[in-house]
Structure 1
């Protein structure tokens, strides 16, 4: 009897070990299989400015169950982002119409396939708290730091034109964001044309003053720019990604504090800066590019040409692909 018990116990033990071995092999095979499948999925390479879109998709739950892989590249401003798309180093990203215009003037092989209608604060001109500058006319013969070809450059050009002041009566200094921030703090420049979250950070951290913003001065669209290669080979992924962005923005409208927390964590700005940025950001992600969107962009290109910022007139219509349409519920569909 004792022998039977011993044999039964030994067999049971061997069975358990064998079962564990089989399960381990299955698990390892499953992990390997998933890894292979993940590598086999198509890749969509996204450019993002300061991680804002990635944070938005993350907090809205739109990074879950994606049938392709996302590879993110983060940029401080839009110019290098759109250059990477033009060079086929990235597939897609959002940049201001001013930035897209500057790239198109350089014959960048890109197309806008989706737009955001931007109704928020936009770019702004800021000055130090104790500056004697209080209005645009005070900037005559002064130095304004900006990123050449950016939405902030557009704001300065449009504001001076609206005020009837020749742009030649001020000094535009092309600087990176980091250098412009330091130049304003040191007094090397008198004003800084920039956008959020840099405006919000300057207001909250450095007590900078806003003397004017894009609102009421210039209409803008944000261009969803893709490479010709991505348009030809990754249409389904691009449509799905845009649909996710559209749903995420709709969700964020009623979850601003939640978005601000993730935005702060992911980008490194404070929660207060993130909240101020998001509260005044009014964006509508379109289902499809419409005539009115191209008209807004064309005015930007015309202004840039009129002021000599770009060397030749541009017909921006040629830089749009209107075949990308996203369904009303955020589900992508082909036109």
Structure 2
């Protein structure tokens, strides 16, 4: 509107300026658009690279945090997973890049293994339900880091095939072999409750599996509370009768436990250990015959017998749920009620949250 009042020459100058300005404005817009598109492509490429390299970066970071860690594992020959990991050197391979060292110590059962954690001799191990309860009562600085479902069919109370004992009530006044503080210690308590027999009305013979087997075969005990694969071996060798297994009495779970100092100081190393345990556990679940062949020379038990034990158990490396914690708490409360332990404890206080 303003241009109609201007002289022709001035009007031409203004018109030329406005045309040039419009070209300049369009050019600037195009430049910014091109820059934005380029930046988007760069970010997209970087994001793609980050995704493809995330696993490698995570592995590198974990390797760095595992530098010079000394990982000390306790195991039992009959505890399939850790024994197989030891034999196959799974952990040594997993820690090779970081330079961490791995050492192994064998134990006859769970209680002495947890005593070793208390003494600072080992960092990690696997036991049945009862040993960690006794350990917590005594002040052992342990942490539940995972559980294994195992199976109620994998533990039982057996009697000689010629025994006059026919019911749980018949255990009153009898001598029963059991590993003190073991998973079958709880089975024995619950079985006596079902048979309406007071725990104080039996004569417990606290024996480790090899000694208990000798006492059982020598008729020096009337019954034996035992777990697989020793259970399967005794049944095959002696024709022992099963008075009861743990079905409806005890969940018969296994627990992976670690020293609190190890969990606090080396959580990445602990995760590496659990990763390898999971891999080997998956293998064992799908290959019972191979597991039996591996364990046979280790335990001096025929592979066919061991395969029976393998097929009636389950494997897993699972985080502790509220249900599992409540179940373990019930065992602790039962032991306190019958004065097997001198004080009550709170299981949830020593459960690791890093495996959730």
TM-score under structure 1 length normalisation: 0.79
Which whole-Å deviations, capped at 9, do the CAs of 1:75-122 have from their partners, x for residues lacking one?
Answer: 121111111112110000011121111111111111111111233423
**Paired position in structure 2 for 1:57:** 85
Q: Deviations over 1:44-95 (max 9, x none)?
A: 1111111522343368884573114321111121111111112110000011
Larger radius of gyration: 2
Q: 1:227 aligns with which of 245, 256, 259?
A: 259
Shift of 1:152: 1.1
Partner residue of 2:338? 307
Give the Cα–Cα distance (whole angstroms) in 2 for the partners of residues 104 and 54 of structure 1: 22
Whole-Å separation in 2 of the counterparts to 1:75 and 1:222:
16
Q: Contact 2:81–2:281 (CA<8 Å) still a contact in 1?
A: no
Contact 2:92 2:101 in 1 (8 A): no
Q: Quote the Cα distance in structure 1 between the aligned partners of 2:342 and 2:305.
A: 38
Alignment match, 1:135: 167
Q: 2:133 matched to which residue of 1?
A: 101
Q: How many residues align?
A: 285
How far off is 1:310 after superposition? Answer: 0.6
**8 Å CA contact retained: 2:174, 2:202:** yes
Cα pair 1:55 1:266 within 8 Å, conserved: no
- 1:180 is aligned to 212
Q: 1:296 and 2:327 equivalent?
A: yes
Say which of 42, 56, 67 aligns to 2:69.
Answer: 42
CA distance in 2, matches of 1:60, 1:281: 22
C-alpha displacement of 1:169: 2.2
| Aligned partner of residue 114 in structure 2, secondary structure | helix
Answer whether contact 2:81 2:280 (CA < 8 A) is retained.
no
5+ unaligned residues in a row in structure 2: which ranges?
1-66
Say whether the 8 Å CA contact 1:55–1:262 is kept in structure 2.
no
In structure 1, what is the Cα distance between the partners aligned to 2:213 and 2:86? 29
Matches within 5 A, 1:13-162: 41-50=68-77, 52-57=80-85, 62-63=90-91, 65-67=93-95, 68-162=100-194
CA contact (8 A) 2:75 2:83 kept: no
Is residue 191 of structure 1 aligned with residue 228 of structure 2?
no
Q: What residue in structure 2 maps to residue 255 of structure 1?
A: 287
Alignment partner of 2:153: what SS?
A: coil
The structure in which a higher percent of residues are helix is: 2
Alpha-carbon distance in 1 for matches of 2:328, 2:336: 13
CA distance in 2, matches of 1:160, 1:93: 30
RMSD of aligned alpha carbons: 2.0
Q: Is the 8 A contact 1:88 1:229 kept in 2?
A: no
Question: Which residue is equivalent to 1:29?
Answer: none
**TM-score, normalising length: structure 2:** 0.75
Higher strand share: 1
**Structure 1 CA distance for aligned equivalents of residues 238 and 107 of structure 2:** 23
User: Which of 270, 284, 296 in structure 2 is aligned with 1:238?
Assistant: 270
Relative contact order (C-alpha < 8 Å, sep 6+): which is higher? 1
TM-fit CA distance, 1:177: 2.2
The reply to whether residue 316 of structure 1 matches residue 350 of structure 2 is no
Deviations 1:260-301 (A, max 9, x none): 111223333221232122111113320x22211211110110
Q: Secondary structure at the residue paired with 1:218?
A: coil
CA distance in 2, matches of 1:177, 1:55: 17
